[in-house]
A and B are shown apart, each in its own frame.
Chain A
Amino acid sequence: MGPRSKDLSLLQVENNVEDDADDVIDDASEEEESESEQEDVKLMEPSKTAIYNREGLVEKLEDISWPENVDWMHKLCLDIDQEKEVDVNDDLARELAFYTQALEGTRLAFDKFQSMGLPFLRPPDYYAEMVKTDAHMQKVKGKLLAQKRQIEEAEERRKAREAKRIAKEVQAEKLKERAKQKKQEIEEVKKWRKQRQQSGFKDGKDSMPDLGFEDGKAFERSSKKRPGVSPGDRSGGKAKQGGGKGNNKNKKNREFRDSKFGFGGKKGMKKQNTAETTNDFRAFNKGGAAGNKKRKR
């Protein structure tokens, strides 16, 4: 044990005594631990058994370092000042700090290179092997595009939802307006009639109310264009559509029934018993179960 203790005393210039693992574990369990990262816990107080041989470190540094007068071009190292303390757990701030450090360093290096007149950046026509393969970069590109598309689609969906809501509101407003108008007009007519009654039905044209339906415009067709639709067409113009891929009679049947009973047909003339509609067999199954179904074949 004698020579060994001498070695120890030689090594530890500071006062620390070499300790074994048990004490360290005791230290750790006594003190509070703070989680700094995944699976990385730091002792709150420094363990008192740590060795710090400053002179040895400095000596080794001098051993390995390159001679002082070596050109900066060999080392290419830059020291960037870090102004404020960065919290380790704040990812964004930490990454930002690294980014600014790199940017600063690049700017300094760029200035140095410019002053020395050496090429710095890669010219766009220089093709050489890259650290990541082209296939990998394709994957990266694909992922970026997919992300962008997702964002755009979400935007569009949101806009459509908004637009629908607004359209609905506008429609409600319009309906209200119309109802109000109608009510107003009826009131006006009533008032006029009362007036006429009171004044004894003798007035001429001068007391005629200004009613909106006197223009003769109401007998015109509404300005909504439905080209290709005749007035007597109950299907609303959709019976003539069809063809394309599914040209079987079921499709036709379906389409006809849709236009007759579904949405989008011509308003107001849906169910009329005229000569045309009596012989209209478009909705019926042609040559199907002809005759009595109950009779055995």
Chain B
Amino acid sequence: MGKKRKHSETQAVEPKKKDEGAPERPKRTLMGWKDKEEVQTQTDSNPESPQFFRNKEKVMVTCSRRINYRYRHLMLNLVSLLPHCKKDNKVESRSSKGATLNELIELRGCSSALFFECRKHQDLYMWMARCPNGPSVKFLVNAVHTMEELKLTGNHLKGSRPLLTFSSNFEKDAHWKLLKEMIIQIFGTPKEHRKSKPYHDHVFVFSIVDDHIWFRNYQISVPHNESDKMVRGGLDKMTLVEVGPRFCLNPIKIFAGSFGGPTLYENPFYVSPNQIRALEKRKKAGKYAKKVKAKTRRKMHEQSNPLEPDEFADMWRE
């Protein structure tokens, strides 16, 4: 479906692509029918015309079995935020996960996927993958707040195109740049999508703090009497209300293939939640042993340094 477009081949591939995207019939003018060659020459003359670029991105959203209620609601929230996504059934298999998922994506005809994997009913991992042979990223998701929380009071049109804002440290490193590109393609609604609404009334915030990607979704609200197209003074009174959901992504690994393949990047600071829990347990486990040790040490110490007999020991004896 989506032919992989290499950067160097843009010029050569573009005209051919335009033919497929352009209307099949030759243009009709007063003089007769314009031939296809004429159309081609016309468009050839400005080879950099971007109007024939169509964003045909489709995202498949699935989850694993035994997912938590909170994470399931997060997934459903994301489904409602992305009108260009397709929600699929739960994926069962543990082994050969990559192959199954790749097949599923091909089957639904999608170009990207968001896969939510919940382990031990506690930890949520999110995979962001580009289907045919694009890169894939595995994140650990923290600090989840869904849209149903009553503290997040904003609301926006379902399917309106979001404005994506990134903090400037996305340009600092290669892996952040790659992540930024993937995020733009997955979270940005295509322009003339069937289910998209015309106005822009919400903003996504992706920001890197402490090597984590934080996500926020705000509604743009302007006082009503000035919400015209050509608002001038309304710019100052613009406020943002949080719609939700909220989550924080911790990148673990970036793979070259979809759901597998050679590792391109590994987060050096990442500690898996299993290890954290194990360490805590070990700390606690040491408590009793330490106590026993301390007791025996005390005993030895007392034995080796006996106290002098106390003068006043018999004072209160009857």
The answer to whether A and B assemble together is yes
Interface residues of A (CB under 8 A from B): 11, 24-25, 28-29, 33, 36-43, 46-54, 56-58, 60-71, 73-82, 86, 88, 94, 97-99, 101-107, 109-110, 113-114, 119-124, 126, 128-132, 136-137, 139-140, 143-144
Q: Is the CB of A105 within 8 A of B199?
A: no
Residues in A with CB closer than 8 Å to B235 are 107, 110
Is there an interface contact between A11 and B262, defined as CB atoms closer than 8 Å?
yes
Are B220 and A106 interface neighbours, CB within 8 A? Answer: yes
Do B205 and A98 have beta carbons less than 8 Å apart? yes
- Considering only CB atoms, which chain B residue lies closest to A129 in the complex? B158
* Given contacts A50-B268, A102-B216, A123-B227, A67 and B53 within 8 Å (CB-CB): yes
Q: Shortest CB–CB separation between residue B70 and chain A, in angstroms?
A: 13
Contact between B81 and A131, CB atoms less than 8 A apart: yes
Q: What interface size band does chain B fall in?
A: 35 or more
Q: Are A78 and B134 in contact (CB under 8 A)?
A: no
> What are the residues of chain B within 8 A of A54 when measuring CB–CB?
174
Residues of A close to B140: CB separation below 8 A: 40
Chain A residues with CB under 8 Å of B262's CB are 11, 53, 56
Known contacts: A121-B222, A128-B157. The answer to whether A86 contacts B209 by CB under 8 A is yes
The interface of chain B, by Cβ under 8 A from chain A, is 4-7, 10, 14, 48, 50-51, 53, 55, 80-81, 123, 130, 134-135, 140, 142-143, 147-148, 150, 153, 155-171, 174-175, 177-178, 180-182, 184-185, 188, 190-191, 197-201, 203, 205, 207, 209-212, 214, 216, 218, 220, 222, 224, 227-231, 234-235, 238, 240, 243, 248, 250, 254, 256, 262-271, 273, 275-277, 279, 282
Interface centre among A25, A63, A123, A136 (most CB of B within 10 A): A63
Pairwise interchain contact A78-B269, C-beta atoms closer than 8 A: no
User: Apart from A57-B135, A121-B227, what 18 extra A-B contacts exist at CB < 8 Å?
Assistant: A28-B275, A42-B271, A43-B269, A43-B270, A50-B268, A53-B265, A54-B174, A57-B178, A57-B254, A62-B7, A63-B6, A63-B134, A67-B50, A69-B48, A88-B209, A110-B238, A124-B227, A143-B150
Sampled A-B contacts (6; CB under 8 Å): A38-B142, A39-B276, A47-B269, A57-B175, A63-B6, A131-B80
A57 close to B265 (CB less than 8 A): yes
Instruction: From known contacts A52-B265, A60-B135, A76-B162, infer whether A130 and B156 are also in contact, taking CB-CB under 8 Å.
Output: yes
Q: Per a CB cutoff under 8 Å, which of A60, A129, A139, A140 touches B256?
A: A60
B210 touches A129 (CB 8 A): no
Residues of B within 8 A of A58 (CB): 174
Which residue of A is nearest B167, CB measured?
A: A82
Considering the complex of A and B, which 8 residue pairs feature the smallest CB-CB distances, nearest first? A46-B268, A105-B165, A50-B268, A88-B210, A122-B199, A57-B174, A50-B266, A82-B167
Contact of B205 among A38, A101, A120, A123 (CB under 8 A): A101
Known: A38-B142, A70-B53. A47 touches B231 (CB 8 A): no
Closest to A85 in B: B209
Q: How far is the CA of A140 from the CA of B241 in the complex (A)?
A: 13
Contact status A51-B168, CB under 8 Å: no
A64 interface neighbour in B80, B130, B148, B220, Cβ under 8 Å: B130
A78–B166 CB distance below 8 A? yes
Task: Please give the distance in Å from A28's CB to the nearest CB on chain B.
Answer: 6
A64 touches B165 (CB 8 A): no
